[in-house]
Structure 1
Amino acid sequence: MSKYLIKPLGSVWLNPYAISDLKKDLLLYDKLGMLNLHTLLEGLHQYKKYDLFQNQLNEVEYLIEKGVFIELKQLMNFAKKGSAMFPTDDMEMANYIMKLKAKISEITDEKERDKIYWQINELDTRLWSKIVNINNESVVTVPYLNDVSSFERTDTVKEKAYSIINKSIPLPSEGTSWEKIFDFKSDSESQLKLLALKNWINDLPENMSSNELEDKIQYLSYQYTESLKRHKISTRLITFKTIITALPKGLSELLRLRFDKAIEPFFEIAEQQVNFSQFKEREDLKGNELAYISLTNKKFNKTK
């Protein structure tokens, strides 16, 4: 099942760093989508004489060509279904959107009109993401929202989990190429860890609140970080012992004569701390389900 992050128009159009954000997004999601993607392309074409918009246009067209940035309504496939189910719980929101669209033409203040325009864009993105989710079982779409609307969000636990985890994925530096992003995504270790993360999300109980889910994710991430540290200590100790044992007898004895009082207590204390029996395999480390987050930070977070 493919996971799509649905970006509102404003998240690219109003953001000078939008391309780095898209790189970050694609580290977690399979693909990106946008409601009325053609509107973004038309706007970027109109202002492409400016380097910023030309660069964004080139990047967006590249992603479309790669098949990882699509029009949201393509996922509906109306032609095959003939008709579509509508999320009845959101009927009030749909009516509100229609009222805003009727109202916007009457507003003369430019700032107020822009504010309502971007609110409509976010509400439409949210509504159409839900329409796709209930009509296409082969995908999960998660709307990327600033939550400016007055409507309470009713995300599924999967949508909540992806939104929370996306905040932990590092923002690649401006010089990070798309090739580096795609190479990372195609790496076998990355794919295995991302699959483990997705499976963990799939198994989450549907009744978890956002606060409970955020606490759980933070706790597991902390557990994995601490477990990984202890695993590294274990690996280094074993390596050190192997080197000492493999040395020629004379040199080994010389080292032991010099460091004997320090080496053995160090081994004893470290082994008690590590508890080797619990850390024989990295796959058994606590919090390993969220190892993909740690992997992306190790690869792309230059501040760590």
Structure 2
Amino acid sequence: MSKNVVFPYVTFNRFIDESTIKKLCLFYDNIFISEGRFNIISDINTKEVTEENYSLHYEKAVWDFLKDNNVVKEYPYLKEKFDSSNEDVTELTTQLKSLFEKERSKKNWPKTPTEEQLKEMKEEYFNHFFLSHDISIRLDSIHLNKLDNTSEFYPVLRTADTLKSDTKKEQIIQFILNDIPEPDYNTSWDHIIEYRSDESVRNKYLALMNWVNKAANSNLRLSELKDEYDFLYSDYMQQFKLHKMKYNNSKLEVILSSTINFIANISTGNYVSSLKDLFQFNIKNATLLQEESKIPGKEIAYIYHTKMKFGK
């Protein structure tokens, strides 16, 4: 079952969400964004690149690249998201209506506000802006989960008021997501896509998701699952370091032995033995790699290797 995130994309005067999106790419299968949120940059390619709109051109290029690589997916406006007997939907819809009513009845600010009043106005505006977007994203996530029983959709929220995690799985995913490194600004998107596409990395990711599913269905409390996660991570880290030392030493030994035998056999015309030496090298190399899959704590190996790859 794929794990997807529903992202409340908003266009600012610069691409402030890029690092966050890179991090989300390392944890979720896909990033879902409402198609209407791309309206501002949809026709930017028809405009000449200037210093003022350079960021929008760059954003458009990034989103197009991620769409082409099947990382970002668009979904239409979900008007049906309000039609439900679901308690969460009812509560969120009520919150959204309350916000709009509050906006209409907000106090009148002076035409020439003081610096303190101006600061308060900005805080009120952005709180209302992001809170309404977060509620909408939560409604979208609930409806997308309803439409697709083979996938899971989790909202990305910008305000503390909507950071509500009811299920154990959501809470598990949150503390694991906190452990995912945020790639450096200079980390290229090609590098991230290449990492996601690696078969070995993908297998480690699936093992992690399998652990998440089992942990969510267990009788353990969240604190106990966090302890188990920390233990698995620590155990894997130590065992992998030992395995890496063994792997490097064994590989060096195999290379030296095989090379010496290969040269000796070639010089005497013993080509069959030379081929056997090369074949033996491949077998030993494969055996060492196979041992890695048996290291204790392999369930969270994806986190360890992602940290090693993208951690600062």
Q: Return the TM-score normalized by structure 2.
A: 0.70
Structure 2 CA distance for partners of 1:179 and 1:170, relative to 1, 3 Å: same
**1:170 equivalenced with 2:181 (yes/no):** yes
* 1:33 shift after superposition: 1.4
Superposition map of 1:283-298 within 5 A:
283-298=293-308
The residue identity in structure 2 corresponding to 1:300 is F
Partner of 1:31: 30
Superposition map of 1:44-123 within 5 A:
49-73=52-76, 85-107=84-106, 108=108, 110-111=121-122, 112-123=124-135
Percent identity over the alignment?
25
Q: 2:170 aligns with which of 153, 159, 180?
A: 159
Structure 2 CA distance for partners of 1:244 and 1:190, relative to 1, 3 Å: closer
Partner of 2:138: 126
* 1:86 shift after superposition: 4.7
* 1:118 shift after superposition: 0.8
Give, in whole Å, the separation in 2 of the partners of 1:192 and 1:51.
38
Partner of 1:299: 309
Give, in whole Å, the separation in 1 of the partners of 2:13 and 2:133.
13
For the 8 Å contact 1:190–1:292, the answer to whether it is kept is yes
For the 8 Å contact 1:86–1:131, the answer to whether it is kept is no
Give, in whole Å, the separation in 2 of the partners of 1:170 and 1:232.
22
Partner SS for 2:216: coil
**1:137 equivalenced with 2:157 (yes/no):** no
For the 8 Å contact 2:5–2:155, the answer to whether it is kept is yes
Moved more, 220-229 or 47-56: 47-56
The residue identity in structure 2 corresponding to 1:98 is K
Give, in whole Å, the separation in 2 of the partners of 1:181 and 1:29.
13
Q: What count of residue pairs does the alignment treat as equivalent?
A: 264
For the 8 Å contact 2:157–2:163, the answer to whether it is kept is no
* RMSD, aligned α-carbons: 3.5
Structure 2 CA distance for partners of 1:289 and 1:84, relative to 1, 3 Å: farther
Give, in whole Å, the separation in 1 of the partners of 2:259 and 2:96.
76
Partner SS for 2:293: helix
For the 8 Å contact 1:32–1:69, the answer to whether it is kept is yes
Superposition map of 1:258-273 within 5 A:
none
**1:42 equivalenced with 2:40 (yes/no):** yes
For the 8 Å contact 2:23–2:180, the answer to whether it is kept is yes
Give, in whole Å, the separation in 1 of the partners of 2:62 and 2:228.
36
* 1:245 shift after superposition: 9.0
Partner of 2:192: 181
Could you list the per-position Cα deviations for residues 247-282 of structure 1 after superposition, in whole angstroms to 9, with x for gaps in the alignment?
Answer: 99xxxxxxxxxxxxxxxxxxxxxxxxxxxxxx9822
Partner of 1:3: 3
* 1:17 shift after superposition: 3.8
Give, in whole Å, the separation in 1 of the partners of 2:256 and 2:68.
56
Structure 2 CA distance for partners of 1:84 and 1:282, relative to 1, 3 Å: farther
* 1:217 shift after superposition: 2.4
Partner of 1:259: none
Give, in whole Å, the separation in 1 of the partners of 2:248 and 2:257.
14
* 1:100 shift after superposition: 0.6
* 1:26 shift after superposition: 1.1
The residue identity in structure 2 corresponding to 1:288 is K
Could you list the per-position Cα deviations for residues 52-85 of structure 1 after superposition, in whole angstroms to 9, with x for gaps in the alignment?
Answer: 23322321233234443233457x797xxxx975
Give, in whole Å, the separation in 2 of the partners of 1:236 and 1:67.
36
* 1:116 shift after superposition: 0.9
Give, in whole Å, the separation in 2 of the partners of 1:299 and 1:152.
29
Q: Return the TM-score normalized by structure 1.
A: 0.72
Structure 2 CA distance for partners of 1:54 and 1:290, relative to 1, 3 Å: same
Give, in whole Å, the separation in 2 of the partners of 1:15 and 1:160.
31
Partner SS for 1:145: coil
Q: Unmatched 5+ residue regions in structure 1?
A: 249-278
For the 8 Å contact 2:172–2:216, the answer to whether it is kept is no
The residue identity in structure 1 corresponding to 2:40 is E
Could you list the per-position Cα deviations for residues 120-176 of structure 1 after superposition, in whole angstroms to 9, with x for gaps in the alignment?
Answer: 111221232122223320211111224421x67234333223322222222223233
Give, in whole Å, the separation in 2 of the partners of 1:209 and 1:98.
36
